Structure 1
Amino acid sequence: MNRNLSCTVRTALFTSSVSLIVSLLTACGGGGGSSSDPDTGGPAPGPKPVSVTFAGDSNADRYDSVGVVAAVSESGYHRFEWEQIAGPKVPLAGQGTAGISFDAPAADTYAFSFTATNRQGDSVSDTYSLWVSPGDDDVRAHLRADRAVSEGAEFSLRLTASGLYTEPDDWNIRQVSGPTATVEFDDYEVVAFVTAPKVSGDRVLEFEAELQVDGRRITDTAYVVVQDRPEVTSEYFCDGSGEYCGTDSPLNNVYTYRSDSPYRDYLADCVYSNQLTDERFCTLGALPLIGMQSDMPTVDQIMDHVLVSHDWMGQRFETFLREMDKTNHDFARLLRSTTAIVISSDIRPSFYWQLTGAIYLDPDSLWLTPAERDVINEQPDYRSGFGSALQFATPWRYVKNNNYAFTSYPVANRESRTLQEVELDLGSLMYHELAHANDAMSPARIDAGLDESEIFFNEASSGDPVNEYVASINPLLSQPLFDLAEVRYAGAEASEMQKSYLAEDIADFFFPDTANDFYAYSSKWEDTAMLFEETMMSLRYGIQRDIAVTNQPNSPYAEDYVVAQGQRNRIGDENIRERAKAAVYELLPEAGPQAEDHLLGLTPISLCAGENWVQNLNPSCAGSYGVLRYEVSKPNAKAPMPTQLPRSFNPPTRF
């Protein structure tokens, strides 16, 4: 996997003396009869008390980034809660985990109570405090963010700076204590990609970041607690590569967002466990589809099926359902076909798995604040290098009024975004993933009744998926594109012929055919999901989708991608809209008539051949291969890089 790092530091760091604070708490136990030690004749030793050990900043300056992590001496604790008991109130993006961080807004004493709970309901608690002094407004370094991870897991640490008005002379990120982790760097961003070591109990890693600025050394420290996890036995959630792996990295700790969920004790075991085996699949009697409980499920019923790695992810998802789905109820209806919704900082990219009937969401579509974004793993998509030998790209984007429908925010800028932007970002992702869910288990199949003694996969695979029907309507015909999709999306090696194709060759394959996106050639599942996603985004939000074929420059600038041919509203093509209409009627029949009328009113718009991707936000040229505009506006320097890879994939199953 290609990992990079650069020296463009734009945001914030903290430096001050850092010390380790250790607190021990003896857990209370029940009484019993007396006994003796057979070796000494004296009283037998009792069970070793469970303890909490804190590692973090004991003092800091105002505006510094501050963090603390908690290590529990006994494994099996999976629910973690922090409560602030002193100091100015600060948001804790790490709530729900054993690690928190925040930017100190004022000089004061900050104190927190920490509680860890296991599945038996036993808990251990302790408190932690630190002093923040007034400090000054000088340059600060910030290594973000202190956190908790599973042994062997991949995570990222980003270095930013505040009060810095010139490029630093040099920078460095290194591990200074704890079991040795593997650290690599990004070519363009100041980010360390870390693989946690294996541990036999919770262990703390300490990382130090350093900036050299005008002869000064400015540092910050981040603490990461690596948590011991049960041995990996699953061939589905694997530790290392495996033919049927949904992921090849150990899983984060996840928990039911609702502490009183009826599935609290086993939901993670059913759908997100490194010990998931054929013998441990849950039946539909134990974990029913949401639609087996109600034809129109409530938000409360849905939230009982939600697993998260951090509290804010569940809060955001619930807000999305309550505030942004209350008119059409599309997502509540589509969620009928799922067993669970998993949102975790280590999921990248998102996926639906017919093996479990659950959707797995990358929280990059849910964050509102920089602090929330800090805890999301920035490791590159495993597909990033696929198709690098090809000479073309197939970028896509959502637009409205000739502008990006939702903004791309560089991580280093540490900007917040609105709920309305989250709605569009998350909405498009949800339409896609839930298209897969309803493809595997359509509303008609649920209405016909399901066998509660069976596991989800057996019931889903006992009938034909919706995509078989959709694929039969004006079917895709371009064999070169089917073969190229194996290279771009599955990592197959490109042939010499495939390496020789130019953007114009691909355009000649793609635009006469009946797919609305190149990703449709990767599988019938993706073909159906892409049709459904674009149709619903256009119907519900009035958003148009661009698809184009361009060159593939070795460049970080969007204006270097030159359009050979492209279209906006491709689903309005007469050979494609029948396929899109069929997808909606089968997956979300309640929206079928509206979608049919809407599709009839859409007219594809040609993008301007020979102009770059940014200029084509306003495609006012005369036809696909028309004369270029006499004068075009200067590209927007903030334009995001074209997106090629879809935000979703479907992992294999062994069945």
Structure 2
Amino acid sequence: MTITQGTHRLALLMAAVLAAGCGGDGKSSERSLNVDGDPLLASLQPYLSSSQYGLAAEDCAVIYKQRQSCQLQDIAPLGYDIQGDLTPDDIAQRLLVSHGWMGDSFMDVVRDLPQDVLNLFKPLNVIVLSLDIRPSFYHTDTAGIYIDPRYLWRNQAEWNDIYQQQDYRSGFADVLPFLALQRYVYSNGDYVTYSNTFDEYDNYWRSKSEIAPGLFNLLVHELAHANDFLPPDQLSVLDVSTSIGKNIKQIKGNWIQTSLQQAHALSADSLQLMAESYFGGASASTTMSPEQAGSAFEPDGGADFYGYYTGAEDVAMLFEAYMMWREYEAVSDVAFTSSPKVENYSCDDLIIGWGQRNRLAQKEVVPRARLVSESILQQDLSAEFASIASSMPVDLPYGYGWCQARTAVMSARFERFNRQAPVADNSQRYLDEMLRH
């Protein structure tokens, strides 16, 4: 998610350009921890007690709450201070946490990231891990990413440290006749990522290998925002006399989303209207069935329905899909399903009106994802995208339940290797697939 400079709807009721909020658990004293997606962030401390950026990072992380932006003379993005490759230790210097275990879990994964992914942290001032963030977001006034700790917990004690709250957008889709779902799977349909919801029977502890795919998925999404608003070639020309927010605003013509819009704009206006309601809570002046939504989506260039919400999310979803393919050989399932008819429903009560596996290979998506990925990574990816384009998307079966369809499509056309399913389907998992970062 992104929150752009000068837009503070996040701090107001049903207001966020792209922030995620949550409700309380009935205890009035706790509701202030997160109001409509704006976490309180009252318990932050540097992950490294020796961090040279400690106080400056703490001040920067929360300055957006005063509708101000971090001054470059106080703290500058990692890539402004460091010209060469970043190391995990460089990243840890900018890490703020509410609990030390969050930083431990985060850094366990970061230390295994490829060098070009480590370098994607260059546009950041701060990385924030706090008990009350839900879900994650990037903010242009701080040049910071704020990570939902549900992507980090390893056992029940750590889960209990997390403020239990719902995503404040979770009811927005109730007025619409469809749900938009997405998941990453291996070519045989097995899940790539694990559920982030604690379950005492099926998901009560997680190893680093189980945390890594989901956290990677989240990180490349939020880092896409950071590199979109502050592209790699702009780091060396920042105006150190002013704020990071003002710098980002001044280079709007160089944002990657601007280039994408100019070269390959999305054309399904009806889906943009639906996305404003689905993710932003706007009143829906019209509705679409799952079949109608899929009919508009399939021939357009979005990697995911979330990409129709803002240009920033369009960029992030395209990059996320490419990076999951690159790092995990994963393909994306996307679908528009029926809305549930009963209160206590299962994932197979969500009936597919339109769905597709390997969406990244859709011919209208390929050039858009390539433009975004090459711009962010500063690499020639022609060979990679030739391989993606040759793999071809496959329809998910109409009329199947969302979970039932996961293993119903087995195609050699994008069979790269086989994996064992990390965990069995459970009633919690589809909840992780309903709303994006």
Q: TM-score, normalised by structure 1?
A: 0.57
Match of residue 259 from structure 2: 469
- Establish whether residue 333 from structure 1 lines up as the match of residue 119 from structure 2: yes
Aligned-pair CA distance for 1:409: 6.0
Find the partner of 1:530 among 303, 308, 317: 317
Q: CA distance change for structure 1 residues 552 and 358 in 2, over 3 Å: closer, same or farther?
A: same
CA distance in 2, matches of 1:591, 1:310: 40
Q: Secondary structure at the match of 1:564?
A: strand
Amino acid at match of 1:457: G
Q: Out of 383, 399, 410, which is 2:185 matched to?
A: 399
Matched residues in 2 for 1:563 and 1:426: separation? 27
Contact 1:606 1:619 in 2 (8 A): no
Query: How many Å apart are 1:454 and its aligned residue?
Result: 1.7
Look up the equivalent residue of 1:442 and give its one-letter code: P
User: How many angstroms apart in 2 are the aligned matches of 1:240 and 1:516?
Assistant: 30
Residue in 2 that maps onto 1:542: 329
- Counterpart of 1:357 (choices 124, 134, 143) is 143
Deviates more, 1:265-274 or 1:428-437: 265-274
For residues 603-630 of structure 1, what are the alpha-carbon distances to aligned partners after superposition, in whole Å with 9 as ceiling and x for unaligned?
21111111111121123499xxxxxxxx
- Cα distance change of structure 1 residues 311 and 593 upon mapping to structure 2, 3 Å threshold: farther
Q: Structure 1 residues 412, 640: CA separation in 2 closer, same or farther (over 3 Å shift)?
A: closer
CA contact (8 A) 2:331 2:359 kept: no
Q: Offset at 1:490? A: 0.7
Residue 559 of structure 1: aligned partner: 348
Aligned-partner Cα distance in 1 for 2:228–2:278: 24
What residue is the counterpart of 1:195 in the other structure? 28
**Partner deviation per Cα, 1:37-94 (whole Å, 9 max, x = no partner):** xxxxxxxxxxxxxxxxxxxxxxxxxxxxxxxxxxxxxxxxxxxxxxxxxxxxxxxxxx
CA distance in 2, matches of 1:277, 1:524: 23
How far the C-alpha of 1:197 sits from its partner, in A, is 7.0
- Correspondence for 2:77: 289
Separation in 2, partners of 1:408, 1:197: 25
Kept in 1, the 8 Å contact 2:173–2:179? The answer is no
Alignment of 1:615-634 (within 5 A): 615-620=404-409
Residue of structure 2 equivalent to 1:519:
306
CA distance in structure 2 between the partners assigned to 1:275 and 1:481 by the alignment:
32
SS of aligned partner of 1:252: coil
Could you tell me which amino acid in structure 1 is paired with residue 396 of structure 2? L
* Counterpart in the other structure of 2:43: 253
Matched, 1:377 2:377: no
* Superposed counterparts of 1:6-45, under 5 Å: none
Contact 1:340–1:357 under 8 Å retained in 2: yes
Pair 1:450-2:283 in alignment: no
Q: CA 1:418 to 1:193, structure 2 compared with 1: closer, same or farther past 3 Å? A: farther
* Alpha carbons 1:308, 1:344 under 8 Å: kept: yes
Match of 2:153, SS? coil
Secondary structure, counterpart of 2:54 in structure 1: coil
After superposition, the Cα gap between the structure-2 partners of 1:539 and 1:601, relative to the gap in structure 1 and judged at 3 Å, is farther
User: Separation in 1 of the partners of 2:55 and 2:49?
Assistant: 10
Secondary structure at the residue paired with 1:359?
Answer: strand
CA distance in 1, matches of 2:48, 2:35: 31
1:478 corresponds, among 233, 255, 268, to 268
Q: Structure 1 residues 372 and 286 mapped into 2: Cα distance closer, same or farther (>3 Å)?
A: same
Alpha-carbon distance between aligned partners in 2 of 1:576 and 1:335, rounded to the nearest angstrom: 26
Counterpart-to-counterpart distance in 2, 1:515 and 1:607: 17
SS at match of 2:27: strand
Q: Which amino acid is 2:126 matched to?
A: A
SS of the counterpart of 1:341?
strand
Q: Distance in 2 between matches of 1:330 and 1:621?
A: 32
- Work out whether residues 395 and 643 of structure 1, in 8 Å CA contact, stay in contact via their aligned partners in 2: no
Find the aligned partners of 1:194 and 1:437 in 2 and give their Cα distance.
35
Q: Could you list the per-position Cα deviations for residues 470-490 of structure 1 after superposition, in whole angstroms to 9, with x for gaps in the alignment?
A: 123332111111111111011
TM-superposed CA distance for 1:371, in Å, is 1.1
Q: Does the 8 A contact of 1:614 with 1:639 survive in 2?
A: no
Aligned with 2:354: secondary structure?
strand
State the partner residue of 2:9. none
Q: How does 1:195-344 map to 2 (within 5 A)?
A: 195-196=28-29, 247=38, 250-272=40-62, 276-278=66-68, 281-294=69-82, 295-322=84-111, 324-325=112-113, 328-344=114-130
TM-score of the superposed pair, with normalisation by structure 2: 0.84
Q: Of 586, 592, 604, which aligns to 2:375? A: 586
Which structure has greater helix proportion? 2
The one of 205, 221, 226 equivalent to 1:432 is 221
Report the alpha carbon displacement of residue 394 of structure 1 after superposing the two structures with TM: 1.1
Return the alpha-carbon distance in structure 1 between the equivalents of residues 328 and 425 of structure 2. Answer: 24
Change (3 A) 1:517 1:197: closer
Gapped runs of 5+ residues in structure 1?
1-183, 186-191, 199-225, 227-237, 623-634, 649-655
Structure 1 residues 638 and 334, CA gap change in structure 2 (3 angstroms): same
Matches within 5 A, 1:602-617: 602-617=391-406
Corresponding residue for residue 284 of structure 2: 494
1:254·1:307 contact (CA, 8 Å) conserved in 2? yes
Give, as a single letter, the amino acid of the residue that structure 2 aligns with 1:371.
A
In 2, the alpha carbon distance for the partners of 1:392 and 1:197 equals: 33
The letter of the residue matching 2:238 is L
Q: CA deviation at 1:273?
A: 5.0
Structure 2 counterparts to residues 154-173 of structure 1, below 5 A: none
Larger mean CA deviation between 604-613 and 422-431 belongs to 604-613
- 1:642: how far off? 5.3
In the superposition, relative to structure 1, how do residues 642 and 411 fare at CA in structure 2: closer, same or farther (>3 Å)? closer
Give the Cα separation in 1 of the matches to 2:65 and 2:280: 26
Between the aligned partners of 2:45 and 2:291, the Cα distance in structure 1 is 49
Which has more radius of gyration?
A: 1
Aligned partners of 2:121 and 2:184: how far apart in 1? 24
Counterpart contact for 1:269–1:276, Cα < 8 Å: no
1:387 to 173, 178, 185: 173
State percent identity of aligned pairs.
Answer: 31
Tell me how far apart the structure 2 counterparts of residues 394 and 571 of structure 1 sit (CA, whole Å): 16
The CA distance in 2 between the partners of 1:275 and 1:355, in whole Å, is: 10
Once residues 375 and 418 of structure 1 are traced to their aligned partners in structure 2, the CA distance between those partners, rounded to angstroms, is 18
Could you say what secondary structure the match of 1:346 adopts?
A: coil
**Aligned length in residues:** 395
Deviation at 1:252, TM superposition (A): 2.8
Partner in structure 1 of residue 13 of structure 2: none
Q: Secondary structure at the match of 2:146?
A: strand
2:64–2:141 contact (8 Å) kept in structure 1 = no
Query: How far apart are the structure 2 equivalents of 1:510 and 1:386?
Result: 20
d(CA) in 2 for partners of 1:239, 1:313: 18
Secondary structure in structure 2 of the residue aligned to 1:393: strand
Q: CA RMSD in A?
A: 2.5
Q: Residue in 2 aligned with 1:599?
A: 388
Aligned to 1:367: 153
Superposed CA deviations along residues 248-294 of structure 1, whole A, max 9, x for unmatched, are x533310111111111123111122586453xx43223211011122
Q: Is the 8 A contact 2:97 2:129 kept in 1?
A: yes
